[in-house]
Structure 1
Amino acid sequence: MSIQHKHKQNKVDILSVQFDNVTMDEMKEAVMHFRETDTTDNMFVVTANPEIVDYALDDRSYYDLISEADYIIPDGSGIIQAGRILGTPLKERVPGIEFMAKCLEIAERYHQRVFLLGASEAVVAKAKQELQHRYPHVTFDAHHGYIDLKDEQVVRKVSKFNPDYVFVGMGYPKQEQWIKQHRHRLQHTLLMGVGGSIEIYSGTKKRAPLFFRKTNLEWFYRLITDWKRMARMRRLPRFVSKVFRKRLKRK
């Protein structure tokens, strides 16, 4: 089950993907409200950047999957810029790794349970160790992300842990597919795909320096520090082209 945090009046259409027009503070409030709600439903959050939007436009099943999320938040400066170009501006960027940090702060305050699913066995173990030191009142468990989506042993492990949060760092589309397939096995849980955030928390990868983040060039930093992203980055010019074509059609 999924709790329906649908606010139609606060949706912004970016190439047919319906983004929630929210700030980081509003998302934090939504998590607090969810925590206080007496429900067995869960909360599914998608952090979407231009790559994810472009992929969703090419893959109908993935588009339908993310459309079922309770929140689609703008995790990319390209999404913010697209909103401005299309005349439907979003309030602000809500980076997934920063929203994850807000969730961890709430988990620390209320002594909650967090499951990390993703990265290699060594990396996720290191991330768990680092986060446990940073958030001593949170109970953590973890499993690597090199799994089959239908791996029942992993699903049982996550379910038995009874987490308040499950952060899945397998990269799109696999992380959202895992959530889609197994969220019904959990109760009152926030589930979110977090991409490479587990590696960053482990210390094996570094987030872009503040300069790149403030100048909306975080994507460029990722590219020059990780050439494996080159193939994925080809989606960026395609996304930009689609945005401008849509803008021209409106004139």
Structure 2
Amino acid sequence: MVGPDGSARRNGRRFRHRVHPYRLSGAFLMVNDRVRRISVLKVPVDIVAPEDLEEVVKAMYSDGKNHQIILLSTADLMRARRSGEFRTMVAGASLVIPISMPIIKTAKFLKRPVPVRYEPFEFIVRLLSILERWGKSAYMFGGSPKGLVQASKNIKATFPGLRVVGGHSARFPKTLHPKIVEAIRKSAPTLLLVGKGVPGSERWIPRNMKNFNSGIQLWCSDVFEVFAERRSRPSAALFSKGAEWLHYLPRRPWIALRLFMSLRLQTISLWYRLRRK
């Protein structure tokens, strides 16, 4: 049985899963005054001020290494508390950006430094704007064929200085996957933007990162649908209140079940705080 602190019992004895310390890779060690990594319920969360984001992004694409950016939701945080591939992926990411209000509230409750919360689509727009300003490139992978074409068209129109060096939808035979990976490698994009439908979702990135020489990789489920204007996103008012889930409720009614997850998060947070006293 797993306890609130990630420990478990085996044959009546309590043990803890071994977790490696969270470390920022290469470029981030040089800009550690711009990125601060904290732990929220033993899950890494990074603090990056909006005014520092450009320098952080430049540091990532300039060091010749691969860097995964994770947009961390509350569900992701709870999932990352368990051992396994997802936890390893989050711990190994170069940048973990919180996008959910409960993460911010939990950090405050546990008296941690308070992270900056970003709206996912706005974060990606900021990222693309930075890359455009410096004449960098992007490759898009995921979504439906029509959605990806329209998203690519809109991105090119919105960011004319950004070089879109390729793209492929998430619909393809399994035998074509190696060729897609090779196409991405040859195009060597500054940013690999991955969307819905890709095998393994966000885990596709660490599974295939070894095939790429360098660059920034980011997964966001609805990114291409939003850019293609086929899906709307929550209003700024809903997002600021942490109620963006209401926007998705009509289309995804099962999201209401996350209320139980929120209760679990609060219970675990209280346990952590009491344990510290």
TM-score, normalised relative to structure 1: 0.86
Equivalent residues in 2 for 1:1-251, closer than 5 Å: 3=26, 5-6=28-29, 7=32, 10-35=36-61, 37=62, 39-140=63-164, 141-146=166-171, 151-170=177-196, 174-227=200-253, 229-230=255-256, 235-251=261-277
Change over 3 Å in CA distance of 1:3–1:50 after alignment to 2: same
Q: Which has the higher helix share?
A: 1
Aligned CA-pair RMSD = 2.7
Change over 3 Å in CA distance of 1:162–1:173 after alignment to 2: closer
> Secondary structure at 1:207's aligned position in 2?
coil
- How many residue pairs are counted as aligned between the two chains? 248
Superposed displacement of residue 83, structure 1 = 0.6
Give distance in 2, aligned partners of 1:157 and 1:218: 36
Change over 3 Å in CA distance of 1:104–1:142 after alignment to 2: same
Change over 3 Å in CA distance of 1:138–1:186 after alignment to 2: same
Identity across aligned pairs (percent)? Answer: 20
Give distance in 1, aligned partners of 2:122 and 2:212: 24
Write the deviation string for residues 146-181 of structure 1: whole angstroms up to 9, x where unpaired: 466992122112112221101112389933321112
Q: Where in structure 1 are there 5+ consecutive unaligned residues?
A: none
Query: Which amino acid in the other structure matches residue 52 of structure 2?
Result: E
Give distance in 1, aligned partners of 2:70 and 2:198: 10
Give distance in 2, aligned partners of 1:250 and 1:21: 23
> Secondary structure at 2:80's aligned position in 1?
helix
Change over 3 Å in CA distance of 1:149–1:45 after alignment to 2: farther
> Secondary structure at 1:5's aligned position in 2?
helix
Contact 1:212 1:218 in 2 (8 A): yes
Superposed displacement of residue 96, structure 1 = 2.9
Give distance in 2, aligned partners of 1:235 and 1:78: 11
> Secondary structure at 2:116's aligned position in 1?
coil
Give distance in 1, aligned partners of 2:86 and 2:176: 17
Change over 3 Å in CA distance of 1:23–1:113 after alignment to 2: same
TM-score, normalised relative to structure 2: 0.79
Query: Which amino acid in the other structure matches residue 133 of structure 1?
Result: A
Superposed displacement of residue 242, structure 1 = 2.2
Write the deviation string for residues 33-73 of structure 1: whole angstroms up to 9, x where unpaired: 334x3x42122211111110111223422101211111111
Superposed displacement of residue 197, structure 1 = 1.9
